[in-house]
Structure 1
Amino acid sequence: MPHVESAGLRERKKQRTRQAIFAAALRLFAERGYDETTIADIAAAADVSPRTFFAYFPSKEDVIFAEIDDRLAEVQQRLARRASGETPLETIRQSVVEVMQALVTEQGEHGPVQVRLVLERPALQARALQRMHEAQQEVQQRIRELCPGLGEIEAVAIAGMAVGAMQSVVTHCRQGGLDPGTTRAALDRALAIVESGLRSVPALNEPIP
């Protein structure tokens, strides 16, 4: 038991350090500009060494996508947890709801900075597109594992709908500087639209054994 508790404590400490680096980076990008902010600046602001920075992020670009990377990882983990008696559609919905809540809770002042940087910089746009493609592929794989009877095209379409809808709405809300309550309402509406379409797929409505 002490070993498990120690491992959990280390993981929480790592997550706090990662969050501190992310927050420091976004604050400096907003205050000084992206090009003017160095990795050494970010490390100093987060009270870590540059070596520690690289232990968490391969590059300055990767910091910008830290939040969405974390949320997508959570979606994949949730989809991998098959609850007996729950339909695949219910599992997908709960996965998205949990991530929506985290996105709204954590958006703070960083959201508009993230969106502005990505929209202004072609290199970051390309990285965002690559991440979106990878995320859809990962979610597609998890959905097919969750629902083996699902066809390939159906899985591709479902992953695209779920990931694309959430990403588009979050970007829209953050670009417009909308408050958390309005953002959550917009995400709930997007989820309802996606869910309405997914109800037409029979395999998603059959309970997991």
Structure 2
Amino acid sequence: MDHVETGLRERKKRRTRWAIASAALRLFAERGYEETTIADITAAADVSPRTFFSYFPSKEDVVFTEIDDRLAEVAERLSDRPPGEPPLETIRRCVVDVTEAIVAEHGEYGAVQVRLILERPGLQARALQRLTATQEEIEARLHELCPGIDEIDAVAAAGIAVGGMQAVVVHCRRHGYEPASMRAALDRALTIVEHGLGSLTALTAPSEGAP
């Protein structure tokens, strides 16, 4: 019963978080970023300011809701590896699952999110911080998956995987790709990423034992 209740609470939290983020992006598109206040967002999402700040430290952080959730999912999925699975296959499975989530949540506000980040230096700085932190997290996960992997190989692999997929997502949203076209573009990007990572022996060899 406790497990069920915990699951219900987590789902409710996710719904509330996404309701706030969706309301914010809609208002940013309709009114403009600077013109939209936190009070406007809370009113549109039908939550209190206290609830808003329990989910987001600031208005800027709302823009990164989906990005933060997907990056956290990548790290979590990399830790969920069947014994003996080659690290490259783990990475591929993780990226495919997250890609499907990104396409499913593409929505009409994906372009709004990208435009805000590209146009505002403050948001660009936050995006860079998140990208750097994610690459470092992936590096750490790669060292767990492949204890003997060379340090530079891990850094390069993380950069290829994170940077490559992120760049294609931004391109697709910036240019208004439809979901089917976006999925095809991400599939092509994944093939390119796999080709680059496939040159690293540490990632293609079967792992030994459980992670």
Instruction: Kindly provide the amino acid, as one letter, of the partner of residue 197 in structure 2.
Output: L
TM-score, normalised via structure 1 length: 0.98
Give CA-to-partner distance per residue, 1:91-132, whole Å, 9 cap, x none: 001111111000000010111000111111111111111111
Q: Could you say what the CA RMSD is over the residues aligned between the two structures, in angstroms?
A: 0.7
Q: How do 1:132-143 and structure 2 match up within 5 A? A: 132-143=131-142
Displacement after TM superposition at 1:82 (Å): 2.1
Within 1, Cα distance between the matches of 2:138 and 2:39?
35
In structure 1, the partner of 2:75 is: 76
Instruction: Kindly provide the amino acid, as one letter, of the partner of residue 165 in structure 1.
Output: G
In structure 2, the partner of 1:147 is: 146
In structure 2, the partner of 1:20 is: 19
Instruction: Kindly provide the amino acid, as one letter, of the partner of residue 27 in structure 2.
Output: L
Give CA-to-partner distance per residue, 1:28-66, whole Å, 9 cap, x none: 000000001011111111111010000000000001011
Instruction: Kindly provide the amino acid, as one letter, of the partner of residue 100 in structure 1.
Output: T
TM-score, normalised via structure 2 length: 0.97
Within 2, Cα distance between the matches of 1:59 and 1:13?
21
Q: How do 1:85-104 and structure 2 match up within 5 A? A: 85-104=84-103
In structure 2, the partner of 1:65 is: 64
In structure 2, the partner of 1:5 is: 4
Q: Is contact 2:197–2:203 with CA below 8 Å preserved after alignment?
A: yes
Q: How do 1:145-184 and structure 2 match up within 5 A? A: 145-184=144-183
Q: Is contact 2:84–2:206 with CA below 8 Å preserved after alignment?
A: yes
Identity of aligned residues (%): 67
Number of residue pairs matched by the alignment = 208
Give CA-to-partner distance per residue, 1:142-187, whole Å, 9 cap, x none: 1111111111111110110011011100000000001011001000
- SS of the equivalent of 1:34 reads coil
In structure 1, the partner of 2:193 is: 194
Gap regions ≥5 residues in structure 1: none
Displacement after TM superposition at 1:207 (Å): 1.4
- SS of the equivalent of 1:200 reads coil
Gap regions ≥5 residues in structure 2: none
